[in-house]
Chains A and B, each alone.
Chain A
Amino acid sequence: MQINLTVNGTDVTREIEPRVLLVHFIRDDLRLTGTHWGCDTSNCGTCVVLMDGQPVKSCTVLAAMADGHAITTVEGLANGATLDPVQQGFMEEHGLQCGFCTPGMMLTARALLDHNPHPEPLEIREAISGQICRCTGYATIVRSIQWAAEHSISAADTAEEEVRA
């Protein structure tokens, strides 16, 4: 079957088998290997991508189900040479050790901050509770996301500024 979707802002059309999972479509068909493939059972969250801005576990979504939707992978986070504040935060606060969970963690963080620009540490922990860091580096991941929140100019903040001006 044929699917048409947007991946990191680019229109993509491909012929696929209906049983292909979104994670394998992204990695094997599109060669975007930043999205990792981990547990296969929607437990670990390393395969998280954004579908229409919402984090989803791409091992438990069919590529066919993404037809007509917009997908963002970790490759779509940076704006050209400028890192997303989330990526910068993971760098500043040492949010990664082996790096395997990092793409999924960063995409969940991006979606969280889009929805809630100033989350409490507990809200951050709740947001990433469906993802596993086998290095157990959760404290630095939470700090990285806090760093991003403190260094982001969110759409909500901009709107507030505009109202005040």
Chain B
Amino acid sequence: MQIPAPFDYVRASSVDNALALLDRHGAESRVVAGGHSLLPMMKLRLARPDWLIDINDLYELDYLLVDGPVLRIGAMARHTTLLESDDIKRLFPIITDAERVIADPIVRNRGTIGGSLCQADPAEDLSTVCHVLEAVAVVRGPAGERMLSMADFHRGPYETAVAQNELLIEVRMPIRASSGSAYEKVERRVGDWAVAAAGASVTLGSDGTISHVAVGLTAVGLDRTVTEVEAVLVGQAPTEALFVEAGRLASLACDPLADQRGPIDYKRHLADELTRRVLRAACRRAAASVSEITI
């Protein structure tokens, strides 16, 4: 039977209250949102907080808002909410693609975007998605709010820039016209960690060439976007030959480890193939979004 070590439990009633509780209980306190990463770690005694601060009552952080050129997602928005959002499907299909394959439908009822990003698991899909979309993390602490790019937010496996007395409260995604995005993952079965996954976002210029592109990889040892691919694609008209070259570069840029999910060459093969697929889908969607505007 897996039971966490003893701890004290307190529910936060507001963001300010959560910050005050974090301040009061110090280094051995942890925030719990959906709990589907932290509670398993506590059961295995990989995490042993003295205080658990439950933020599930912070409904003020459970929102999705198209605010001019930015989509604002509250840190407590559940995976199910993101999956079912028509705004997200329209503006950022990469999020819909990813949410379909995050954990399973029941876990998605509890898990939150804020929890996923703060867990910073190397196989975490939304971290890749946020890198690709050039999302900004809004982090609040006693000294006020700070905005962090994903490169600054994400410090490495299981590590973020969120300090002990701070809380991730919002994720912002810039909305780009004439854009498309996609995500695809290979997993052994529903709910398992990814063997590998890829995400892409593409913006087309008025002449039909790629004016902006970002490609990210999940679970293959690359904490940044695949800048090598971006350098080759920008300014080019999307073609299959270009996607093949992008796939080759992605497979070289990553640094996967061999484990029970597969050997290194298989994971590089997936990085290659999945990069081609998401670029193809993202370009197709970007072209469709251009024609919608002209109509």
Interface flag for B7 (CB, 8 Å)? yes
Distance to closest chain B CB from A65 (angstroms) = 6
Closest to A18 in B: B9
Is A1 located at the chain interface by the 8 A CB criterion? yes
Q: Does B39 contact A (CB under 8 A)?
A: yes
A62 in the interface (beta carbon within 8 A): yes
Flag if A130 contacts B39 (CB, 8 Å): no
List of B residues within 8 angstroms of A1 by Cβ: 9
Question: Given A18, A67, A129, which contacts B52 in the complex, CB threshold below 8 Å?
Answer: A18
B43 interface residue, CB < 8 Å from A? yes
Q: Does B3 contact A (CB under 8 A)?
A: yes
A contact residues, range: 20 to 34
Residues of A within 8 A of B52 (CB): 18, 62
- Give the one of B6, B105, B106 with max A CB within 10 A: B106
Q: Which residues of B contact A74 (CB under 8 A)?
A: none
Name the residue of chain B whose CB is nearest to the CB of A16.
B9
Is A65 in contact with B56, judged by CB distance below 8 angstroms?
yes
**In the complex the two chains form, is A57's CB within 8 Å of B106's CB?**
yes
Q: Is the CB of A130 within 8 A of B107?
A: yes
Assembled-state Cα–Cα distance A56/B104 (Å): 11
A residues within 8 A CB of B39? 21, 60-62
Closest to A67 in B: B11
Please tell me if the beta carbons of A62 and B106 are within 8 angstroms of each other in the complex.
no
B-side interface mostly: loop
User: B7, A61: Cβ atoms under 8 Å?
Assistant: no
| Contacting pair A40 B105 (CB below 8 A) | no
Q: How many residues of B contact A (CB 8 A)?
A: 28
Closest-CB distance, B40 to chain A (whole angstroms) = 6
In the assembled complex, B4 has its CB within 8 A of some CB on chain A: yes
**Distance between Cα atoms of A1 and B11 in the complex (Å):** 12
B6 engages A56 (CB within 8 Å)? no
Output the least CB separation between B284 and chain A (Å): 23
A129: contacting residue among B1, B32, B54, B190, CB under 8 A: B190
- A/B interface sample: 30 pairs, CB < 8 A: A18-B8, A18-B52, A19-B3, A19-B4, A24-B3, A41-B2, A41-B40, A42-B107, A48-B106, A55-B105, A55-B109, A56-B106, A56-B110, A57-B106, A60-B40, A60-B107, A61-B39, A62-B9, A62-B39, A62-B52, A64-B54, A65-B54, A65-B56, A108-B106, A129-B104, A129-B191, A130-B105, A130-B190, A131-B104, A131-B106
| Residues in A lying within 8 Å of B, measured CB to CB | 1, 17-21, 24, 40-43, 45, 48, 54-57, 60-62, 64-65, 67, 108, 126-127, 129-131
Contact surface of B with A, Cβ cutoff 8 Å? 1-9, 11, 32, 35-36, 39-40, 43, 52, 54, 56, 103-107, 109-110, 190-191
